[in-house]
Structure 1
Amino acid sequence: MIRVLLADDHQLVRTGFRVILEIEDDIEVVGEASDGKQAVYLAERLRPDVILMDVEMPGMDGLEATRRITTANGPSVLILTTFDHDEYLFSALQAGASGFLLKNGTPEALTDAVRVVARGDALLAPQITRRVIAAFARPGVTAGSDPRRLAELTPREHEVLVLLAGGATNAEIAADLQLGETTVKTHVSRVLMKLGARDRTQAVVLAYELGVVRPGPPRG
């Protein structure tokens, strides 16, 4: 079972998410938080696999709560918000969020996102990925990434990073490089470790920051 904690200051929203998620046989909602402080506390107490985190909450907001949870090697955080603003997006990524979705998505998108994040992968809605790419196309946009990290990658790992940054799944990387998916997973894990990236999302951001790839047409 995938154990999920809901963090949102609106009870009606939490109830709606609970109904959507608990229909699924493999997902269990183990707790609810109405603010960031409570989310941090319950993350440590309940040890969920995934936290669905609102951004704007009274007291400690969702971004600060995410930062504290991920810094403590806590569960993966999936940011859910109605506020489609770049400052929230980039702050969430910098805080260590593994995914970012808008609340106007479908129930299927929500449950799929929970499963993706629970596997240890990262997820961004397509429109958000495009904005991340566009942002890093602008001169001077960087979080101070160390280019020496790239020197630690093998040629094959570099190829994997390029494909990751283009939005390729493990299956697509395996097909492109004529490798088995298990081998690809190993390469992805090594890329994340060498770059110091928590997950695939941060690896993609680093790839654009370090100039490994440049914005271009979407994959496919």
Structure 2
Amino acid sequence: MSGSVKLPRDEVDWLLRGALAAASKDDVTPVLCAVQWTIADGRVTVLATDRYRVHQLYVRAPKGTPDGEFLMDRSQADLLLRLRHSNARRLAGEVVELTWTDAETLPDPAPRKVARRYCGTLRFDIIAHDGADADVLSHTTEQVRGTFPAVGRLFDASSESESERASEMALDPEYVSAARHLRVDRGEPLRFIIPARSEQDAQIAGGSRRRPVLILNGSGTARALIQPNLMLKAVKDYGTD
């Protein structure tokens, strides 16, 4: 099965920057270096993780867009972000069309070299403007093979319960900084929800275990989970050195 979705350039840029901020850079697990795209329920949603955090963002899908799901490799996503038409006056009107082809079932026994049709393909077309004579920048590659982890379910497990909150926790500042890509515009605030502790959490390692911090953008179109660090070393209070 194949399909395509056409989105304004600025929406695609926002989705990819927000997703890539959380995507893994460890090539040992290629599927974690990818961005998962899902078109369903009238939304185009992207999801990425590096095991320690999850970013999820969405925009509204144009009417008539077929449902589908595909994995975009980090290198193709980076290329899409970098490519621009040379005519600056047309940049505001750029449109990106993503076209995917689902993978065919591998034969049994599987071949030593996996042909492209068993991986599926993903193509992007960057269209300069809506006119009939618009220049187009294109790129086609294989989809990333593998099953993306069901990290989206972690958001369903997060809670805004009024139970006892953690009084303090350690967060990686790089992860916190990367959450800025969830904002639709620079003036938009981010909402941080400190997780409540369950009885099970309190019984593990003296209560040192912490649930992920939930971050929401002000537009209600992006969210993230960041796993707190374990404070294995003593952390001094300010002014006690």
The structure whose RCO (Cα within 8 Å, separation 6+) is larger is 2
Same fold (TM over 0.5): no
TM-score computed with the length of structure 1 as normaliser: 0.24
* Larger proportion of strand: 2
* Larger proportion of helix: 1
